[in-house]
A and B are shown apart, each in its own frame.
Chain A
Amino acid sequence: MKFILVSLDDDPARLERYVAERKFAMPVARFSREQAANVFNVHDTPTTFYVDASGTIRYQVTGVEPHGDAVDRVTWYIETLKAQRN
């Protein structure tokens, strides 16, 4: 299981403050909004891809879901993909 964060910020100073404050335990990569739209078809933040072991994006969640607790929800996606045969 691997978590990767991709920042689409224009302002590096604001991003650095945010990352320093949050102390993320996973890598934080940077990408421009234009590149994200072209390569990943991502136009809004937050957007999360849940990718299975074969490298296929299985679920895309954009924005905030209207139901369910966030931790439970993320756990559900991860456990669902981990349990699947490929």
Chain B
Amino acid sequence: MRTKSAEQKLIAAARTPATAAEAHYWLGRIYDFKGNKAEGAFPGFHEEVSFRPRAEAEFKLAGTPKPEWIAEGEAVENALKAADAALAKQQATPNAPASQIRAAIEARIKARPDPMTYVAGANALLARNGDLPFVLRLAADGRVVGDRFIWENESSYKLDGKVRGSLDRNAAVFADIAGWALFLQGDLQTAEQRLAEAARLYRNVDATNQLHLAELSRKKNDLETAREHYLTALGLAGITPPQRDQARVALADVQAKSGENPADFEKWLAATLDRKREERRKALVSNMAGRRLPALGLKDLQGNNVDLRAERGNVVLLNFFSAW
């Protein structure tokens, strides 16, 4: 899926008579994907209507496709399907040894390095606490691969804000994977840095990440922080039923350790989640992330102009405060 690079090479190849027909055929396939098949094919992807006539034009220039071109495309797709199936089989085998899972991940990456393989592969190993050094490598490589995937397919995201959001999500996914692998390895300090990094990129709305932070805080005996993260996770729509059960049991334990009466737990939890939901709703409604900074002239205390527009090209930290 190195779409942009492939497109550039094919446009060059289309200028040479000997390779022109085949290059037009593959350009047609790319534009057909962008124009007709991209919708939802990957998270954040949309079809681009403007590519439909371009696909038609390229197919016209290619003429009748040769059977070997079609066969080549099918061979690639079949190799991917076979590697996917081999990895899925390892994932579904409860006692699959880490070495076999790793081999299946490596084979799938060799077939085509898709970001999702890094995520799925790392999660399969994390669930079995297997080969954590390899998980950390998958997290580091996956971040790079994911960034490249997004830039190579930039126009499928349509809006710049969506590209940014996808880049943040990509970085968050792999920071969380690395953080959890480090936690399992016992390196709590670095684990916390990576998990907190993921939380910022996720804007605190990923349940798995919040549960990881909660577990880490509980391990450090920081009950107050653990409580906050469990509550955040329990208030999120994306939490799975097993995660919810796990969080409730852990939170009850945190409350008991904090000296709270177990008999009050359910009532306390319901009231607290209601309050948190309302807080989150307010925060979401008022969140300005992704919006342009209003171009507005301010005055400083000496009466000088502070022009926000003049700061284009600079990273700006704008802090609203009140004196206490």
Contact = CB atoms under 8 A, between A and B. Distances in A.
A9 B323 contact: yes
B290 A50 contact: no
A57 B300 contact: no
Given A40-B294, A56-B290, A8 B320 contact: yes
Q: Is the interface of B mostly helix, strand, loop or mixed?
A: mixed
A62 to B, nearest CB: 6
A79 to B, nearest CB: 9
Contact of A1 (B192, B314, B321): B314
Given A53-B313, A67-B213, A4 B306 contact: yes
Contact of A55 (B164, B167, B289, B312): B312
A6 B301 CA distance: 10
Given A6-B318, A51-B315, A52-B315, A57 B228 contact: no
Contacts, number: 162
B320 A36 contact: yes
Nearest to A10: B322
Given A42-B286, A68-B196, A74 B317 contact: yes
Interface in B254-302: 282-283, 286-296, 298-301
A17 B298 contact: no
Given A16-B301, A27-B304, A40 B320 contact: yes
* Contact-size category for A: 35 or more
A84 B295 CA distance: 22
B299 A29 contact: yes
A39 B192 CA distance: 36
A57 to B, nearest CB: 5
A61 B229 CA distance: 17
A15 B314 contact: no
A27 B321 contact: no
A81 B315 contact: yes
Nearest to B319: A48
Contacts of B292: 55-57
B219 to A, nearest CB: 14
A3 to B, nearest CB: 5
Interface of A: 1-9, 11, 14-19, 27-31, 36, 39-43, 45-60, 62, 65-68, 73-74, 76-78, 81-82, 84
Given A29-B298, A55-B293, 4 more contacts: A1-B315, A4-B298, A46-B321, A49-B288
Interface of B: 161, 164, 167, 192, 196-197, 199-200, 203, 213, 217, 225, 228-229, 282-283, 286-296, 298-301, 304, 306, 308-309, 311-324
